[in-house]
Amino acid sequence: MNEATASSILLGFYNIGLAATFIVMSIPLLKGHVKMNKIYGIRVKKAFESDEMWYKVNAYGAMRIIMWQLPLFIVGIVCFFIPIRGEQGYARLIAFLLAPVVVWIPIIMDILRFCKKHA
C-alpha cells in the first residue's frame, strides 16, 4: 500500500468516524433524554429559556445534525476511491479534512433559524 492510498483510507475513516460519532451523540438529544445542563446539548441562548425550549431546540438540532451527517458519510466513502496525490493532492486533502467543518455551517444556520422562528 502506497502513501497516497493510506492517506485516502485514513481520510475515509476520519469522515465516516466523525459522522458516526455525531449521530451517536445526537440520538439522546433527539429522544429527549438529556436534561438542561451546561455541558451537553445545543448551546444557544434560546435553549436555556425553559425546559420546554431546551427539549425542542435539542430535538430539532439533533435531527439536523443527524441529517447532515449523510453528506459527510458519503464524503468518507468517496475518500476511499480518490487518491491523495499529484498536483491536486493537497487540495483534496484540505477539502476532505475540512468536510466535517463545512457540514456544520448549515446545521448552525438551521438551528439559529429555528430559534428565531420560535422567539
- C-alpha distances in Å from residue 56, one per residue of 22, 80, 111: 19, 37, 11
Angstrom distance (rounded) from CA 114 to CA 119: 9
Angstrom distance (rounded) from CA 52 to CA 76: 36
pLDDT level of residue 119 (50, 70, 90 thresholds): confident
* Predicted confidence (pLDDT) per residue in 11-21, tens digit: 999 999 999 99
pLDDT value of position 4: 63
**How many residues would you count in the chain?**
119
pLDDT value of position 84: 83
pLDDT value of position 46: 96
Q: What mean pLDDT, rounded, does the chain reach?
A: 94
* Predicted confidence (pLDDT) per residue in 35-81, tens digit: 999 999 999 999 999 999 999 999 999 999 999 999 999 999 999 99
Residue spans of the domains in the chain: they are 3-117
- SS3 assignment for 17-69: HHHHHHHHHHHHHHCCCCCCCCCCCCCCHHHHCCHHHHHHHHHHHHHHHHHHH
